Amino acid sequence: MTAKIEIVGPQRINGTVHISGAKNAALPLLAASLLSDDSLTLKNVSPLVDVKTMLNLLEELGAVPHITSDSLDFQTISLKTDSIDNFTAPYEIVKKMRASILILGPLLSRFGMCMVSLPGGCSIGVRPIDLHLKGMQALGANVDLRDGYVHASAPHGLKGAEIDFPIVTVTGTENVMMAAVLASGTTVLKNAAREPEIVDLANCLNKMGADISGHGTSTIVINGVNSLHHTEHSVIPDRIEAGTYAIAAGITNGCVNLIGGDFRSLLPSFVEKMEQVGLIFTDIDNGLRVESSGHIAPVDIQTESYPGFPTDLQAQTMALLCLADGESNIQENIWENRFMHVAELSRMGANIEIHNAHAKIIGVNGLKGAPVMATDLRASSSLVLSALAANGKTVIDRVYHLDRGYSCVKEKLAGCGVVIDRIQ
């Protein structure tokens, strides 16, 4: 039997939340440890299920992690990868998380060979890895798909190339960038993703001795180097977690202090849209205060690559707009099939119409508690938000999805006066 979350609403969030290290930054950083014989020390790592999955995968390859818990939600992880003796990432581990594919570039670049199972993760669409594979081939790798595995080799090493991504790909940019770090010559990535997590990875790689420039823009230039060395690096705060708790303030007519970073720059389009909705943002020391204005205005949103509105905050925003005074529209441009939470929100009384990748949300006066089921990571957080605002008891099933990307949810909400129970 899987764990469930029980919330009796309505409840109001009021307090301070220390934002964890970003999951989407930590995963490629952990994979980057494979690029060097020297150790890599990462600070501000959140003990999420996806982080544990990546560590299990690295251990399977022969890496040795040393973990120090700085607090309940913040860890320091030192990884030694000088004794890697296995170049196969098995299906049993990779099936749990799509980001497992991020070990492809580092293994291929440093060791010249690897065999990686086709990945799994949230069921929010096809999410192909063809751009990763084409990037490796452009760098001179031999790539073959058979028996559910990617077989890749570069017996003579990788060589720099100009790669123009046909569409923006975050993990594809990260994977090819890591592969190019030890390639001979210069690699130019065009139409590269610009997310803060990519900037964080490039900054860490440069501290390890890489030569990367242009990160944060759509053109990244990587001059290959012979080797990388030890460094310490602190993972950036999780902008998606910050956005989720900001929405919690809006949907519960509450107030929350988000501590840990410059969230305006990490979430420019999100903050702009939420101000239109009626949230009030105030800069504070090392963070941002988010307050409800007491009114939720309708708004139209399109998900886009950074600096556009994040697809990872679409489900949570939809929950908020269910209570808006009027009609809102959301166009999902990143992932197909990312409206699976709509059926569960409708069970709680939401009025949502779906047509392909477009959702029309007609605001209602209130939501009602109901038994619901999390279908993916971000959908699970949208149900928690809805439950906080709903009248009556909501029981959320399959919250293992939530654990993949949110750490200490019960404790953080409890610190803001919210009663939430985790049951078996």
Over the stretch 327-364, which tens digit does the pLDDT of each residue have? 999 999 987 767 889 999 999 999 999 999 999 999 99
DSSP type of residue 19: P
What pLDDT digit, counting tens, does each position of 32-77 carry? 999 999 999 999 999 999 999 999 999 999 999 999 987 778 899 9
Annotated domain spans of the chain: 4-20+237-423, 23-234
The structure tokens 């109001």 sit at 12
How confident is the model at residue 120, as a pLDDT? 53
Q: Is 122 a catalytic residue?
A: yes
User: Looking at 40-54, 86-100, 125-139, which range is the least confident one?
Assistant: 125-139
Scored b (16 or more CB within 10 A) or e, 79-104 reads bbbeebeebebebebbbbbbbbbbbb
Among the listed ranges 2-6, 314-318, 358-362, 391-395, which one has the minimum average pLDDT value?
2-6
Hey, what are 66's tokens?
């040393």
Beta bridge partners of 292: 279
DSSP β-ladder status, 113-117 and 88-89: parallel
Q: Catalytic residue among 122, 204, 255, 416, which?
A: 122
Residue with tokens 């251990």, as numbered in its chain: 59
CATH of domain 4-20+237-423: 3.65.10.10
Pick among 3.40.50.80, 3.65.10.10, 3.30.720.210, 1.20.1530.20: CATH of 23-234: 3.65.10.10
The reported pTM is 0.95
What is the DSSP annotation of 336-393?
Answer: TT--THHHHHHHTT-EEEEETTEEEEE--S--B--EEE--SHHHHHHHHHHHHHSBEE
**Which stretch of DSSP H or E encloses residue 138?**
helix 130-138
Please check whether the two domains, 4-20+237-423 and 23-234, share a CATH topology: yes
Q: State which H helix or E strand residue 409 sits in.
A: helix 409-414
What is the C-alpha to C-alpha distance for residues 83 and 94, in angstroms, rounded to an integer?
Answer: 21
CB-based burial label for 209 (10 Å; 0-12, 13-18, 19+): middle
Q: How much is the pLDDT for 123?
A: 40
